[in-house]
Amino acid sequence: MPTSTSTPAATPTPAPTPASPLTAGRLDVAAELLTLLRDTTTEPRPDPRLEALTLAVAADLPVLLWGEPGIGKTAALTQLAATLDLPLTTVIASVHEPSDFSGLPVIGADPARDGVPMAPPDWAVRLVRAGRGLLFLDELSTAPPAVQATLLRLVLERRIGALRLPPGVRIVAAANPRSSAADGWELSPPLANRFVHLQWTHDPETVVRGLGGVWPRATLPTLDPDRLAHAVEVARRAVCGLLTARPALVHRLPSGETHRGGAWPSPRSWDMALSLIAFATAAGSSRDVLAQLVRGTVGDGPGLELLAVLDRMDLPDPETLLADPAGAVLPDRGDRRQAVLEAVVDAVHRRPERERWDAAWAVLARAAETGAPDLLVVPAHTLASLRRDDWEVPAAVEGLAGAVALSRRADRAAARTAGADAGRAAGRP
């Protein structure tokens, strides 16, 4: 007689216990408090880092923000996307496979005839459908080399599988230094050379004011339509002038692995620097902003040389100053004023004429009225050596004599003091 078997009854799943009115009420109060904590606003306030980032985004160049963890890189990108009204798409590069960026193969009905298309990921499809957006590649320095290799095409050509990102999409990445990154890697030189590298540091005043509820606001730069042609001319003159004088800077791959993962000069990065100079000039950006962009594109050394070229280009024409010494407007910065005065003296040296020599003294007198006299010592000495026997000393020299003599005495006193200090340090009486 067969033994009957019975299936044990399944244990019923207990119904979730509804939250008590007291618990729900407490959570509502907690949610209200969280809402108040997150209720912040923005204000227009000068922020060179944010302005440099916004200019690079406006120039449609990929940007890489370098900074320690918790410094506010992600928050800055979120605020930037909201201010520019761009949908933000965040992709953590380190948690993706290479195929997520190169595309996944999808076999069709007849691969021999149609081939095997590479299907893009869903976030790329959403960006293409939107036609615009801010693609944020976070944790780039923790992406392994294989993933970095597949990112090359995305960053430069904006292609993911069979899709091409529309022109309205901007690309910004963020990375931590290898010393503070979780399982960090150095960026490969080809990938690093495709970015504008910006160092993201915290400003205590900005943090304190932000924690108080007011953060700086990112705004698109206002480009002056009347300065566009001039901006392009300035950028091309500066870059081409430097590379003509220093052809070794056209391409210089750093020897150290760490420096290869940052900004370094190549034809590609010089082209990016040219675009950024044009944008910064058209927007009337400060030198601090321009310095961050240039050094973040071609590196510190070449970037400083390029800034020096731009400084010289922005100096007044010495011939203009010689033509109207009384109306001469000289730079406020000491190094630039010194360069202008030396250029005026050099112009007289190239074409020594009595009227030009007198005008140069008038320019120096103008400089003495509006700036430190120590800057006049070398130009005045050189200009005096250019005097011909039949040239009378102009009245302007008399006004300069006291200032120059005083500056010389101050220099000699400083030298004596330095010598005495060095003697005491060496144990001499």
Give the residue from 279, 273, 271 showing the smallest Cα distance to 230. 279
CA distance linking residue 323 with residue 89, whole number of Å: 58
pLDDT given for residue 237 in this prediction: 93
CA distance linking residue 429 with residue 424, whole number of Å: 7
Residues 6+ apart with CB under 8 A from 198: 49, 52, 53, 56, 63, 64, 65, 66, 292, 293, 296
- Compute the chain's Rg from CA coordinates: 32
Q: Are 141 and 197 in contact (CB under 8 A)?
A: no
C-alpha separations of 155 from 130, 164, 188 in Å: 19, 11, 13
Q: Are 171 and 246 in contact (CB under 8 A)?
A: no
* Structure-block tokens of residue 47: 């922020």
Weakest-pLDDT range from 24-28, 356-360, 413-417:
413-417
Q: Are 175 and 139 in contact (CB under 8 A)?
A: yes
pLDDT at position 159 over 50: yes
pLDDT digits (tens, 9 = 90+) for 41-90: 888 777 888 899 999 999 999 999 998 888 888 888 888 888 888 999 99
CA distance linking residue 80 with residue 78, whole number of Å: 5
Reduce the DSSP state of residue 134 to 3 states and report it: strand
Handedness of CA 321, 327, 331, 334 (dihedral sign): positive
Confidence tier at 115 by pLDDT (50, 70, 90): low
pLDDT given for residue 186 in this prediction: 82
Weakest-pLDDT range from 259-268, 325-334, 344-353:
325-334
Weakest-pLDDT range from 10-14, 319-323, 359-363:
10-14
Reported pTM: 0.72
* Structure-block tokens of residue 188: 């490969």
CA distance linking residue 325 with residue 262, whole number of Å: 46
Count of C-beta atoms within a 10 Å radius of residue 418: 10
CA distance linking residue 66 with residue 262, whole number of Å: 10
Residues 6+ apart with CB under 8 A from 136: 74, 77, 81, 88, 89, 90, 91, 172, 173, 174
CA distance linking residue 194 with residue 263, whole number of Å: 9
pLDDT digits (tens, 9 = 90+) for 365-382: 888 888 777 788 888 888
pLDDT digits (tens, 9 = 90+) for 133-158: 999 998 888 888 888 888 988 998 89
Question: Tokens 């209720």, residue?
Answer: 39
pLDDT digits (tens, 9 = 90+) for 385-423: 898 888 887 776 766 765 555 444 444 544 555 555 555
* Structure-block tokens of residue 205: 């005043």
The pair phi, psi for residue 40, each rounded to 5°, is -120, 165
Give the residue from 221, 235, 297 showing the smallest Cα distance to 55. 221
CA distance linking residue 11 with residue 373, whole number of Å: 96
Q: Estimate the share of the chain in helix, then strand, then coil, as percent rounded to the nearest 5.
A: 60, 10, 30
- In the chain, the amino acid numbered 344 is V
Q: Are 125 and 119 in contact (CB under 8 A)?
A: no
pLDDT given for residue 413 in this prediction: 46
* Structure-block tokens of residue 9: 């009854």
CA distance linking residue 303 with residue 196, whole number of Å: 12
**Average per-residue pLDDT in the chain?**
83
Task: Report the pLDDT averaged over residues 270-297.
Answer: 95
CA distance linking residue 128 with residue 167, whole number of Å: 10
CA distance linking residue 381 with residue 411, whole number of Å: 15
pLDDT at position 247 over 90: yes
The pair phi, psi for residue 223, each rounded to 5°, is -90, 130
Count of C-beta atoms within a 10 Å radius of residue 28: 10
pLDDT given for residue 282 in this prediction: 94
